Amino acid sequence: MLMKQAPDVVFNTEDYAHTPETGFIRVADQPLSTFSADVDTASYANVRRFLNEGRLPPPDAVRIEELLNYFPYTYVHPTGLTPFAATLEVASAPWAPEHRLVRIGLKGREISTAARPAANLVFLLDVSGSMNAANKLPLVKQAMRLLVDRLRPDDRVAIVTYAGNAGLALPSTPARKASEILAAVDALQPSGSTNGAMGIQLAYDIAKANLVNDGINRVILCTDGDFNVGVSDDGSLTRLIEEKAKSGVFLSVLGFGMGNYQDAKLEALADKGNGNYGYIDSKREAEKLLVEQVNGTLVTIAKDVKLQVEFNPATVESYRLIGYENRRLQKEDFANDQVDAGEIGAGHTVTALYEIVPAKGGILTPADDLKYQKVAIDLTGSRELLTVKLRYKAPEGDTSQLLEFPLADDDATFATASTDFKFAASVAGFGMLLRDSEFKGASSWSEVQAWAEAGKGSDAGGYRDEFIRLIGRAEQLTQ
């Protein structure tokens, strides 16, 4: 898709996977909604980059779940050995007041830097000619310096670079020798074509050779995704990463740059590599991912995290999951431990929104062996909307654990909802407007901004205030 170019860009070959929205689904037809958890945030930072450049993003660059999950929320913290706690809330949908909006919030267990295991990290850095821009390799170097400064002395770092060929720029080195690590980072220069597959092979080999039992073993890939030599097609690369993920080494993908940015490819690599995906458009974003949230970026507290929502047909006529289009699973996948799903880092939050059309109640007939449909009974007085079921595995485990959280409707209005609820609704409205969604209802830029202002709260870090400014930029670009 060709887009308006910045003055110094001749061609635009950025690639985004087409993600058509899902419409409303009748509970009588499908009482279960199943999807993989997602803590990726790349889409928000990339959308911000477009807006700051004075351009609207392509609709497929807007993944609403990644916009939602970019922001911190005040969720209940887990207690005991359980790695998750859930915060559920329901109120009227501001863009369709006759509908209900459900917010599902998960909070992962926090882990301090002192308490986390030792880390074996391999920086896999793209030094090809396509990275020769101020917002590419120089920004990669800044990001890696920030991360090295946050490591413990007993952590280890290796650096693998790739262009036409892959090479070991730094063997695995203890972080207490930070000057050696930073000197290797500073010496990197861009040149040549991009053989990403060769770099991936070498990076995982180095990670496995220095594997820390019961520790953090992670490859951190920094690239614009423009692999053009060797194994470079999306299918072969994702199969390669999927195979490497079996080694117990996790993957973080950090995207950089513009013009030739390959978003679809990088998202797929992170998904198949038991990893997370971020986009770094500034030093400030690098600080967010690699300083403020460094333990979430490095430490996986649970893998193959799946959610399944069972709706009560007595109270819900139909529902729509907002976003998560490429995270949907079949209902049978939920209890199948062979099916891959998302990974959650320490302290991460997961937010999902459902828009619900209320049911009128009545006598039900059984449709399946489910909580709300086991027998034909009169549930007209029921207040329970749904039950959220969560499955997860320990980072080194093979068998999933199950948690369940019911939600009843107390008839809250949007005006009486929590500040976090209002802000999440504004983010969803923002995403629907950018995508020109058929489900945006009464949303407008001024309404979305009003919802965000009402949900701003204490705004630690200033992220919500920045979002409010972005709403204004988007509105200007649509006029």
Nearest-angstrom CA–CA distance, 419 and 396: 37
In the chain, what's the furthest Cα-to-Cα distance?
A: 72
- Amino acid at residue number 236: S
Q: Which of 341, 338, 348, 320 is nearest to 432 (CA)?
A: 320
Nearest-angstrom CA–CA distance, 359 and 384: 12
The continuous run of DSSP H or E covering 88 comes out as strand 84-93
- Residue 319 corresponds to which tokens in the numbers above? 């529902």
Is 346 in contact with 301 (CB distance < 8 Å)?
A: yes
Could you report the per-residue pLDDT of 255-279, keeping only the tens digit for each?
Answer: 999 888 989 889 988 988 888 999 9
Contacts of 101 (CB under 8 A, 6+ apart): 90, 91, 92, 93, 94, 353, 354, 355, 356, 414, 421, 425
Helix (H, G, I), strand (E, B) or coil at 60: helix
Q: Which of 36, 38, 39 is nearest to 297 (CA)?
A: 39
Domain 119-298 sits in CATH 3.40.50.410: yes
Nearest-angstrom CA–CA distance, 74 and 232: 41
**At residue 418, what are phi and psi to the nearest 5 degrees?**
-70, 160
Nearest-angstrom CA–CA distance, 224 and 280: 10
Cα 442 to Cα 96, 251, 321, 470: the distances in Å are 7, 40, 18, 20
Helical residues (DSSP H) of 53-186, grouped into ranges: 64-68, 137-149, 178-186
Output the tens digit of pLDDT for each of the chain's 479 residues. Answer: 333 344 444 346 788 999 899 999 999 999 999 999 989 999 999 999 999 999 999 999 999 999 999 999 999 999 998 999 999 999 999 999 999 999 999 999 999 999 999 999 999 999 988 899 999 999 999 999 999 999 999 999 999 998 877 899 999 999 999 999 999 999 999 887 766 778 888 999 999 999 999 999 999 999 998 776 455 556 777 788 888 888 889 999 999 998 889 898 899 889 888 889 999 999 999 999 999 999 999 999 999 999 999 999 999 999 999 999 999 999 999 999 999 999 999 999 999 999 999 998 654 555 556 777 654 444 555 689 999 999 999 998 999 999 999 999 999 999 999 999 999 999 999 999 999 999 999 999 999 999 999 999 999 899 999 999 999 999 999 98
Is 36 in contact with 106 (CB distance < 8 Å)?
A: no
Nearest-angstrom CA–CA distance, 206 and 216: 14
Model confidence, pTM: 0.91
Strands 316-322 and 349-358 come out as: antiparallel
Could you report the per-residue pLDDT of 44-101, keeping only the tens digit for each?
Answer: 999 999 999 999 999 999 999 999 999 999 999 999 989 999 999 999 999 999 999 9
Q: Where are the domains of the chain?
A: 25-111+303-422, 119-298
Nearest-angstrom CA–CA distance, 198 and 217: 19
CB atoms under 10 Å from CB of 243, counted, come to 11
Helix (H, G, I), strand (E, B) or coil at 306: strand
Cα angle 14, 18, 21 (rounded to 5 degrees) comes to 140
Is 163 in contact with 192 (CB distance < 8 Å)?
A: yes
411 exposure class (CB count in 10 Å sphere: 0-12, 13-18, 19+):
exposed
Q: How do the residues of the chain divide into helix, strand and coil, expressed in percent and rounded to 5? A: 30, 25, 40
Beta-carbon-side half-sphere exposure of residue 162 (alpha carbons within 13 Å): 26
81 exposure class (CB count in 10 Å sphere: 0-12, 13-18, 19+):
exposed
224 exposure class (CB count in 10 Å sphere: 0-12, 13-18, 19+):
buried
**At residue 128, what are phi and psi to the nearest 5 degrees?**
-70, 170
**At residue 102, what are phi and psi to the nearest 5 degrees?**
-110, 130
